[in-house]
Amino acid sequence: MGLNRIGILTGGGDCTGLNAVIRSITRAAIIQHHASVVGFEGGFEGLIFDRDQDLTVKSTKDILTMGGTILGTSNKGNPFEFREFGADGKVDIHDYSEKAIRHFKRMMLDCLFVIGGDGTLQIANQFYERGVPVIGIPKTIDNDLEQTDYTFGFQSAVQVASDAMDRLHTTGRSHSRVMILEVMGRTAGWIALEAGIAGGAHIILIPEIPYKVESLLEKIKYRIAGGSPFSIIMVAEGAKELGGEEIKMESGENRLQGVDQLGGVGFYLAEQIKKEIDLEVRTTVLGHIQRGGTPNAFDRVLGTRLGSYAVRAAAEGKFGNMVALRTPNLELVPLKDLAGKVRQVPDSSQLIQCAETIGISFGR
Ligand code: F6P
């Protein structure tokens, strides 16, 4: 099957490598199929409200290394449950899915390439089940998608977090302080785990292993007794104390959209440590720095591979699938197999084993 005209959108939180994928899909569709390419702006909102732009080899020139997405994105515009806020602050929920499908058909597109994380790909699957030819491409810094070894964006975020750890090491050592770095990841500890190992953390706290404060204190005291009166703690935003809850931001804007915003565990932890240990404690929250900037080489290559493979899958009519990395190859997996699932770090993970073997504490 040939491709005459295709559409692309990026949904959910941004990350590095999105433009690498947009460029790859555009170039593969034009070079291999002489197709015309349309990019929807602001995620699914562009599809609902007719906001789009033509993409060409020329317009996607030089974007390989550029962070963010030239199309814009949103983690708010779910067409099946679109939330609109009245002046009185009241929320109205609309189903705009039919409007979006009508728009898609009017544009005579052969395929919609949806680049996103679990929420976005779940929406993509809902469209597929209503007859829209869809191919999904897995993105997120959290690396929490089922069925793929890695999502693009993750390795760049790990690099940023590990660079931050290096910097905290030097200042923490100079001042004999406990330095805490809070990183993103939602309910998965992948960023904290990989960047913690890469950055030489003494303690790594992840959502999958609820921590005991006594265990952390023990590790810090052990280091003091051994002549190292400083400790570096990597904590994932979704980490929680044994028997406790994740810490959510009260003022989180995303709550209006029905989504909890995590954050604050680094400060909470600092208070717990300060009470018991006679060292100064400082917290750094890395936040969206992990999502911005230039993709590293791994994410550029992965993004380019996923994009070109997605075009090949579309040309073969293999809709309703996500392109996935099953090292060393790319494969197709049904979008429905991802529905509602989050891939957390399994307790049997060799990464955890490796870290514990060399003395890193998980606060067990
Ligand atoms: O899913 C990506 C992510 O960066 C999470 O790690 C984080 O919890 C969330 O998005 C932050 O969302 P927002 O950009 O809406 O603050």
Within this chain, domains 5-152+295-327 and 155-291+346-357 share the same CATH topology: yes
Question: Domain map of the chain by residue range?
Answer: 5-152+295-327, 155-291+346-357
CATH number of this structure's domain 5-152+295-327? 3.40.50.450
- Neighbour-count burial for 289-315, b at 16+ CB within 10 Å, e otherwise: ebbebebbebbbebbbbbbbbbbebbb
Q: Ligand 1, residues 69, 120, 139, 261: which to mutate, most atoms within 8 A of Cβ? A: 261
Q: Among residues 189, 131, 122, which one has the least CA distance to residue 338?
A: 122
* Separation between Cα atoms, residue 188 and residue 204, nearest integer Å: 13
How far, in Å, CA of 179 to CA of 364, rounded?
Answer: 20
Q: Report strand pairing: 203-205 vs 280-285.
A: unpaired
Asked whether 141 lines ligand 1 (CB < 6 A), one says yes
For a pocket test of ligand 1, which of 69, 184, 262 has the largest count of ligand atoms closer than 8 A to its C-beta?
A: 184
Tokens of 131: 């007859």
pLDDT of amino acid 253: 60
Tell me what pLDDT residue 89 has. Answer: 77
Nearest CA to ligand 1 atom 8: 186
Q: What is the pLDDT at residue 256? A: 57
Any atom of ligand 1 within 6 Å of the Cβ of 194 = no
Distance CA 124, CA 118 (A): 10
pLDDT value of position 2? 84
Q: How far is the CA of 317 from the centre of ligand 1 (A)?
A: 33
Residue type at position 4 = N
Kindly state if the Cβ of 185 falls inside 6 Å of ligand 1. Answer: yes
Q: What CATH code is assigned to 155-291+346-357?
A: 3.40.50.460
144 noted as active-site residue? no
Angle between helices 154-175 and 190-198 in degrees, nearest 10: 50
- Is the CB of residue 184 below 6 angstroms from any atom belonging to ligand 1? yes
Q: What pLDDT score was predicted for residue 284?
A: 98
pLDDT score of 164: 98
Instruction: State the pLDDT at residue 90.
Output: 84
How much is the pLDDT for 174?
A: 98
75 Cβ closer than 6 Å to some ligand 1 atom: yes
User: Which residue of the set 142, 149, 260, 347 is catalytic?
Assistant: 142
| Number of H-type helices and E-type strands within the chain | 10, 13
pLDDT attached to residue 72: 98
Specify the pTM.
0.95
Looking at residue 189, what DSSP letter applies?
-
> What pLDDT is recorded for position 147?
95
**Residues 119 and 75: beta-carbon distance below 8 Å:** yes
Q: So what's the pLDDT on residue 330?
A: 98
- pLDDT tens per residue across all 364 residues of the chain: 789 999 999 999 999 999 999 999 999 999 999 999 999 999 999 999 999 999 999 999 999 999 999 999 998 889 999 988 888 878 889 999 999 999 999 999 999 999 999 999 999 999 999 999 999 999 999 999 999 999 999 999 999 999 999 999 999 999 999 999 999 999 999 999 999 999 999 999 999 999 999 999 999 999 999 999 999 999 999 999 999 999 998 765 665 566 789 999 999 999 999 999 999 999 999 999 999 999 999 999 999 999 999 999 999 999 999 999 999 999 999 999 987 789 999 999 999 999 999 999 999 9
